Amino acid sequence: MADAVVTDTRTPTEPGWFRRNKLAIAPWIFLIPALIFFAIYVVIPIFESLWLSLYEWNGLYDAEGNSTATWVGFQNYVKLWDDPNFWTSLRNNIAWLVLYMLAVPLGLFIALFLNQTVTGMRFYKSMFFFPFVISQVVVGLIFGWFYNPDFGVVGTVWKAIFCEETTNILGNVTFNCSRPAPDILSSPEWATYGIIAAGLWPQIAYCMILYLTGLNNVAADQIEAARLDGAKGWKMLWYVVVPQLKPATFIAVVVTVIGALRSFDMIAIMTQGGPFGSTNVLSHYMYEVAISEYGERYGYGSSVATVLFGIMLFFISYFLWRMYQDEKGGR
């Protein structure tokens, strides 16, 4: 402090405007590159999409470089209301949201199973996390084969249980099955669940790692105290451990909700929305209508994206509100 006073007396002229406002200007200089970049690619496009959802546009421009979009108001949304594919997608989105949540308790379960200190445990923990590290494209391909009724694991296990193998004189093997093996991805009723199960695999791994870190920070003295009081097993888990895991649970729920609503890769790889659109979700349906061989319907696609954005915004607002409460408490 003394230093600052000395400097002031040494400069009789008014310090420059920049110097005086240093602490007000500096943050903006640090922020501007990121803000500009983020605005161009993220913030502005959101509003453009919202706006575009009120137009009909095939993405083309006329000779002068003006967009050929025509204003249709809320007509795209009216069309959505009558579009059975939209409702199927929305229903599947809800199925994803609900079933994806299984990743949270299952992740906790595996974390509890692995939360021991035996030799090689670090290796096991990282191997269990493995599915999360690889691309969903690869996961989708793997499970696509997995479900194949002829030669996939599902088909092989099915044959072992329900089929009788017979070899004729020529040495050809035929299978006599009491029930044919299920072709999960070709069945409109089951395909979505098959994809969700595949998606759960990496998601459980993610939740598991969040819980493993959370378990590290559980207060040992509280557990000891509860043990002395005779708590164990489920009671201990539910009344002592789970409340302490609240921050980990919150993050696990956040990433699972976002993951469920964002699901695109697996569907694109495994079924492309089929059979008959039965596995579509909003994120994939939007892509399909906006960039497809049936012509590009940017406006209609944007209205699908807007609906998805609206659903997401509902969750995002809640997360931000929770974060805001934390920030207020943290100061």
Partner 1 sequence: MFPRPIEKSGPAAKAAYQAFLPFALILWLLPLLAIFLTSIRSAADINSGNVFGWPSEFAIIENYTAVFTQSAAAQYMWNSVLITVPTVMISVALACLAGYALAIYKFRVALPLFFLFVAGNFIPFQILMVPVRDMSVQTGLYDTIAGQFLFHAAFQTGFCTLFMRNFIKALPFDLIESARIEGVAEWKIFWFVVLPLVRPAIAALAVLIFTFVWNDFFWANVLTQGESAKPITAGVRALNGQFVNNWHLVSAASLLAAIPPVVCFFLMQRHFIAGLTLGAVK
- Closer to partner 1 by Cβ: residue 25 or 78: 25
Least separation in angstroms between residue 4's CB and partner 1 is 7
- Closer to partner 1 by Cβ: residue 191 or 209: 209
- Closer to partner 1 by Cβ: residue 101 or 207: 207
The 3 state secondary structure assigned to the chain is CHHHHHHHHHCCCCCCHHHHCHHHHHHHHHHHHHHHHHHHHHHHHHHHHHHHCCEECCCCECCCCCECCEECCCHHHHHHHCCHHHHHHHHHHHHHHHHHCCHHHHHHHHHHHHCCCCCCHHHHHHHHHHHHHCCHHHHHHHHHHHCCCCCCHHHHHHHHHHEEEEECCCCCEEEEECCCCCCHHHCCCCHHHHHHHHHHHHHHHHHHHHHHHHHHCCCHHHHHHHHHCCCCHHHHHHHHHHHHCHHHHHHHHHHHHHHHHHCCHHHHHHCCCCCCCCCCCHHHHHHHHHCCCCCCCHHHHHHHHHHHHHHHHHHHHHHHHHHHHHHHHHC
- Closer to partner 1 by Cβ: residue 44 or 161: 44
- Closer to partner 1 by Cβ: residue 35 or 78: 35
Least separation in angstroms between residue 121's CB and partner 1 is 8
- Closer to partner 1 by Cβ: residue 78 or 313: 313
Least separation in angstroms between residue 204's CB and partner 1 is 9
Least separation in angstroms between residue 118's CB and partner 1 is 6
Least separation in angstroms between residue 205's CB and partner 1 is 9
Q: Which residue's entry shows tokens 């500096």?
A: 26
Least separation in angstroms between residue 169's CB and partner 1 is 19
- Closer to partner 1 by Cβ: residue 101 or 206: 206
Least separation in angstroms between residue 191's CB and partner 1 is 17
Q: Which two tokens stand for residue 228?
A: 């002395």
